[in-house]
Amino acid sequence: MKVGIDMGQVSSAPGGGSALLDLEELLATRLLVQGNSGSGKSHLLRRLLEQSASLVQQAIIDPEGDFVTLADKFGHVVVDASRSEGDIQRIAARVRQHRVSVVLSLEGLDAEAQMRCAAAFLGGLFDADRDYWYPMLVVVDEAQLFAPAAAGDVSDEARKVSLGAMTNLMCRGRKRGLAGIIATQRLAKLAKNVAAEASNFLMGRTFLDIDMARAADLLGMERRQAEMFRDLERGHFVALGPALSRRPVPIRIGTVETSARSGSFKLVPLPEQPKEEARDLIFKPGEDEPVRPVMPRRAPPPPPAPSTNDLLAQLARTRPAAAPEPEAEATEESKAERDATLDAILREILDDPEAAFRTVAVLYQDFLVRCRIRRVAGEPLSLPAFRRRLAVARAGVDTATAEGTEWDRAVAFAADLAEDIQGVFLLLARAAMEGSACPPDGEIARACGSRSPGRARRLIAYMESRGIVVTRNDPRGLRIIALPDLGWETGPGDPNAFEEPVGSSDNRDLFAVG
């Protein structure tokens, strides 16, 4: 049975048709809401919760205490987070057992305490007995606080615990009946492995280029259409997903029955009073105000005496430094051996199917660690030098080809290109030089660190607009790419023939646009 939740009206439909959200599909595919502060995210979540309150159990992780007003109208139980983590986890287990809708209010806690309490609560929901795996909507407002993309001011332990709980909710929660609904102000601040598990999207107003571009990618839109997110009004969102619409549609969120405790601040006239009275109000204590005694300032304590270790270290610093041992002069043979070792390390890293989708910074750290383990002599590669070697390695060039003068021409030409297209150019150059088939879109996408065939097509189009490559189709519709500056041309190839390597992750990249 299909159960539709009325979220409002479709803005593009004549007369404004109803925007229905399929609740059963939502339970299986999860939802991501994004929008800047003031775009109407909380209003959207409140509309969703109110419309489905009588249909499914709900749990809201509320960092600001905005959703506690649902208790008066819809019977949600407010859980105060000023408890131990063990108590929070046991309460979560009983929530699943008795199917009670709750609001976990984290108001008043600092960021690290909020992360720990949210992790304990999600852990309790996730670890419930199989007999209590009933359907439940788990709404996490301000999800970037609990699944940050980068380390912040909190401890690494708190971040790992919170990020692990959010990842479990979005990746493995479906089998336990938990449907994650996460809302964030900025996609760039939200961990990608958490955002990537959502199949439904509601994108609201946003202004930063990086957030607009990522929102457009998630919705399968062209980059030039990303500017529309700046023009969205409050309460207007673009919807996409199996529970919403198979194509991006603009919707306007309907009204709600409850309101947040904070609400929107309105301008209030300042009180009119003489200047002297205003001075008395702030400098003189009121009648009911307790007077606190002024504590005398204590003199700062004298500096502690240096410890024995500090004295020994100071004496050691006064000794003349030992002369450095002369380094052995690098020969041509040792340089060749070092280059072979570096190439072997790069191949080991790229043998991992997921290496193609890790950032260059992560791969560079892994490379340096492996170099130290192998005790590679000489100065470590700089990051720019590593980028160049990585681009060559991703192109799949064998040793015999790399040593030829023809390949040196391709590498020299690629050195003048932007870093994000160097790997793609070298991949095409290798295919053209060997006379092999034109690489498919999926293989080109891996060369630039993505699973998105759409990203590969956009890069090829960009390179063609710059005169770097020329594409054409043969009579069978197969693609041929020519490199005019090198005078090379690939063989015909099917752009859709790519198959995911064996052992790669089953998680689909939601940035793909087909």
Answer whether residue 54 is part of any domain.
yes
What separation, in Å, do the N-terminal and C-terminal C-alpha atoms of the chain show? 30
Sequence-distant (≥ 6) Cβ neighbours of residue 169 within 8 angstroms: 122, 125, 126, 138, 140, 178, 180
Answer whether residue 236 is part of any domain.
yes
| Helix, strand, or coil (residue 146) | coil
- Quote the pLDDT of residue 338: 80
Answer whether residue 115 is part of any domain.
yes
**Cα–Cα dist 451/506, whole Å:** 12
For the packed helices 111-126 and 85-98, what is the interaxial angle rounded to 10 degrees? 40
Answer whether residue 204 is part of any domain.
yes
- Quote the pLDDT of residue 292: 60
Answer whether residue 153 is part of any domain.
yes
The amino acid occupying position 258 is T
Which tokens sit at 410? 């391709």
What is the β-pairing status of strands 245-253 and 4-10?
Answer: antiparallel
For the packed helices 419-434 and 383-394, what is the interaxial angle rounded to 10 degrees? 30
What total of structural domains would you count in the chain?
Answer: 1
Instruction: Give the range of the structural domain holding residue 235, as residue numbers without chain letter.
Output: 4-253
- Per-residue pLDDT in tens (0 to 9) along the chain, 514 residues: 578 889 988 876 555 688 899 999 999 899 999 888 888 888 999 999 999 999 999 999 999 888 999 998 899 999 988 888 889 999 999 999 999 999 999 988 888 999 999 999 999 999 989 999 999 999 999 999 999 988 777 888 888 999 999 999 998 888 899 999 999 988 888 888 888 888 899 988 888 877 788 788 777 777 777 778 887 888 899 888 899 888 888 899 999 998 877 656 677 888 777 777 777 777 777 777 666 665 565 666 666 667 666 766 777 666 555 555 554 555 666 777 887 788 788 778 777 777 666 777 777 888 888 888 888 877 887 877 777 777 677 666 655 555 667 777 888 888 778 777 877 888 888 888 888 889 888 888 877 777 778 888 888 888 888 888 899 998 888 999 998 888 888 999 988 876 655 444 444 443 343 3
Q: Within a 10 A sphere around the Cβ of 362, how many other Cβ atoms?
A: 10
**Cα–Cα dist 176/225, whole Å:** 38
Element spanning 276, H or E: helix 275-283
- Quote the pLDDT of residue 70: 92
Q: Please report, for the domain that includes residue 108, its CATH number.
A: 3.40.50.300
- Quote the pLDDT of residue 105: 92
Answer whether residue 201 is part of any domain.
yes
**Helix, strand, coil in percent for the chain, rounding step 5:** 45, 15, 40
Using a CB cutoff of 8 Å and minimum separation of 24, what contacts does 195-198 make? 195/32, 195/510, 196/507, 196/509, 196/510, 196/511, 197/30, 197/170, 197/171, 197/507, 198/29, 198/30, 198/31, 198/32, 198/170, 198/241, 198/510
Answer whether residue 31 is part of any domain.
yes
Answer whether residue 136 is part of any domain.
yes
Sequence-distant (≥ 6) Cβ neighbours of residue 384 within 8 angstroms: none
